[in-house]
């Protein structure tokens, strides 16, 4: 039997993170390298096929000229795009950084430089291919969610969305939804992350939430839904709801106030248990409650509130299980508390990356 650790971090120094206004940011507001690469990738797609006199060119000029970081991100994405053999947008070959003229070099230095460049070409090509693969792996899913979503938050942000029917949806960090409010029904699709729903009562118009294969149906209530790679979790604050697998003949699970249902994506198993009302949607107060989840799932949850990219190559550590209440005011501290009981360490390789290891 795998060992499970419970760690109560509720006594840590905490700061109030919940804001009544729209969008609250945890940590620095500066854009990370990952966010800049994402923006540059989206510009690649937006500029393709546009005429030279398109107004979007002016917007792009303003974006790429904002800072050296923007120009660097644009150059990196174009290099990766070129390796993939994709058609590049206009401006792809524009040199935004001044280059040193070859004329200033002596003939001998130029010949040595050419030789060195020839020797480096295989290594540069390999690095470029790796960069392209990384960009596809990280940003293609993100862009697909961008295209499908009506509302989306960045890492460490929350947003309160008011729907046309009077219902509200509070989005957690790195979360996204699409909405469809029509005369026959009200439907919201949770594309990523977590969201807390406070649904306005409407007897003739059911409110449905689709969350990675799970459909939640309500008439008027408040509940929390979270999707991860391993499971979908639905917790009910008040009222009653039914949750059912969209691709299963099993009867819907009916939840009452103070209950939570966890649906495993692997085998479709549904686990229903009681939960303290104050723990439902705890992320809205800057905390996360984890109950018997794997370290991998716990880190995936913290990732929504961390502006750095988190990598954990240790598969054995990833499958250990942990429970506890963790403070999101300091995501690095939360990471350390999650892996610490198993001897794990969190290393800041750069300001934009964290590596978790079992030693």
* CATH number of domain containing 223: 2.60.120.1440
Per-residue confidence (pLDDT) for residue 104, from 0 to 100: 40
85 and 122 share a domain? yes
* Cβ atoms of residues 283 and 172 within 8 Å: yes
Q: How far is CA 159 from CA 58, 70, 152, 154, 169, in A?
A: 29, 26, 8, 10, 8
94 and 144 share a domain? yes
Token pair in block for residue 145:
């969610």
Asked which of 128, 148, 168 is the last residue of a domain, the reply is 148
Residue 166 lies in a domain: yes
Per-residue confidence (pLDDT) for residue 349, from 0 to 100: 83
Residue 28 lies in a domain: no
254 and 265 share a domain? yes
Residue 124 lies in a domain: yes
Token pair in block for residue 183:
């005369």
> Alpha-carbon dihedral of residues 68, 70, 71, 74, nearest 10 degrees?
160
Of 211, 175, 141, which is closest to residue 304 (Cα–Cα)? Answer: 175
CATH code of the domain covering residue 343: 3.55.50.30
Per-residue confidence (pLDDT) for residue 70, from 0 to 100: 83
> What is the widest separation between alpha-carbon atoms in the chain?
84
What domain range is 132 assigned to? 33-148
37 and 144 share a domain? yes
41 and 138 share a domain? yes
Residue 87 lies in a domain: yes
What is the Cα 203 distance to its own chain's centre? 35
Per-residue confidence (pLDDT) for residue 210, from 0 to 100: 93
Residue 256 lies in a domain: yes
78 and 177 share a domain? no
10 and 59 share a domain? no
Residue 189 lies in a domain: yes
Q: Name the DSSP letter for residue 282.
A: G
275 and 323 share a domain? no
264 and 170 share a domain? yes
Of 315, 353, 319, 357, which is closest to residue 340 (Cα–Cα)? Answer: 357
Q: Which residues, 6 or more positions from 359, have their beta carbon under 8 angstroms from its beta carbon?
A: 343, 345
Residue 79 lies in a domain: yes
* Cβ atoms of residues 15 and 21 within 8 Å: no
118 and 41 share a domain? yes
Length of the chain: 359
358 and 273 share a domain? no
3-class secondary structure, 15: coil
Asked which of 285, 307, 329 is the last residue of a domain, the reply is 285
pLDDT tens, the chain, 359 aa long: 445 544 444 333 333 333 333 333 333 345 666 667 767 776 766 676 566 667 777 788 888 888 888 888 787 767 665 644 444 555 555 554 433 334 344 444 444 554 455 545 544 444 454 455 455 545 555 556 666 789 988 888 899 999 999 999 999 998 999 999 988 889 999 999 999 999 998 888 989 999 987 899 987 799 999 998 888 999 999 998 998 887 777 888 899 999 999 988 888 888 899 999 999 999 999 999 888 889 999 999 999 999 888 989 888 999 999 998 999 889 999 999 999 999 999 999 888 889 998 77
Per-residue confidence (pLDDT) for residue 144, from 0 to 100: 62
d(CA 41, CA 210): 28
Per-residue confidence (pLDDT) for residue 18, from 0 to 100: 37
Residue 199 lies in a domain: yes
233 and 267 share a domain? yes
Q: Name the DSSP letter for residue 352.
A: T
Domain total of the chain: 3
pTM score: 0.62
Asked which of 247, 265, 285 is the last residue of a domain, the reply is 285
């Amino acid at each position: 039997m795998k060992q499970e650790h419970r760690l109560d971090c509720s006594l840590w120094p905490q700061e109030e993170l919940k804001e009544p206004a729209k969008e609250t940011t945890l940590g620095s507001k500066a854009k990370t390298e990952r966010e800049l690469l994402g923006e540059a990738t989206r510009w690649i797609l937006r500029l393709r096929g546009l005429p030279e006199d398109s107004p979007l060119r002016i917007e792009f000029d303003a974006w790429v000229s904002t800072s050296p970081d923007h120009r660097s991100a644009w150059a990196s994405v174009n290099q990766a795009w070129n390796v993939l053999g994709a058609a590049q947008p206009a401006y792809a070959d524009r040199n935004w950084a001044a280059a040193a003229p070859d004329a200033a070099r002596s003939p001998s230095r130029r010949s040595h430089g050419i030789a060195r460049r020839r020797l480096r070409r295989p290594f540069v090509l390999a690095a470029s291919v790796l960069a392209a693969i990384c960009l596809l792996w990280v940003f293609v899913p993100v862009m697909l969610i961008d295209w499908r979503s009506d509302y989306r938050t960045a890492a460490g942000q929350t947003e309160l969305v008011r729907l046309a029917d009077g219902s509200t949806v509070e989005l957690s960090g790195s979360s996204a939804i699409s909405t469809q409010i029509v005369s026959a029904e009200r439907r919201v699709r949770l594309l990523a992350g977590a969201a807390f729903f406070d649904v306005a009562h409407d007897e003739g118009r059911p409110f449905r939430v689709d969350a990675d294969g799970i459909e939640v149906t309500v008439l008027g209530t408040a509940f929390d839904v979270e999707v991860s790679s391993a499971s979908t979790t639905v917790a009910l604050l008040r009222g009653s709801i039914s949750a059912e697998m969209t691709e299963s003949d099993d009867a819907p699970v009916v939840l009452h106030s103070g209950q939570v249902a966890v649906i495993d994506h692997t085998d479709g198993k549904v686990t229903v248990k009681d939960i303290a009302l104050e723990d439902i949607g705890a992320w809205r107060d800057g905390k996360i409650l984890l109950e018997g989840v794997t370290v991998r799932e716990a880190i995936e949850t913290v990732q929504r509130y961390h502006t750095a990219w988190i990598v954990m190559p240790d598969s054995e550590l990833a499958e250990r299980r942990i429970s506890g209440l963790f403070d999101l005011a300091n995501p690095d501290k939360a990471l350390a508390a999650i892996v610490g009981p198993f001897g794990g360490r969190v290393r800041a390789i750069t300001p934009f990356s964290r590596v978790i290891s079992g030693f």
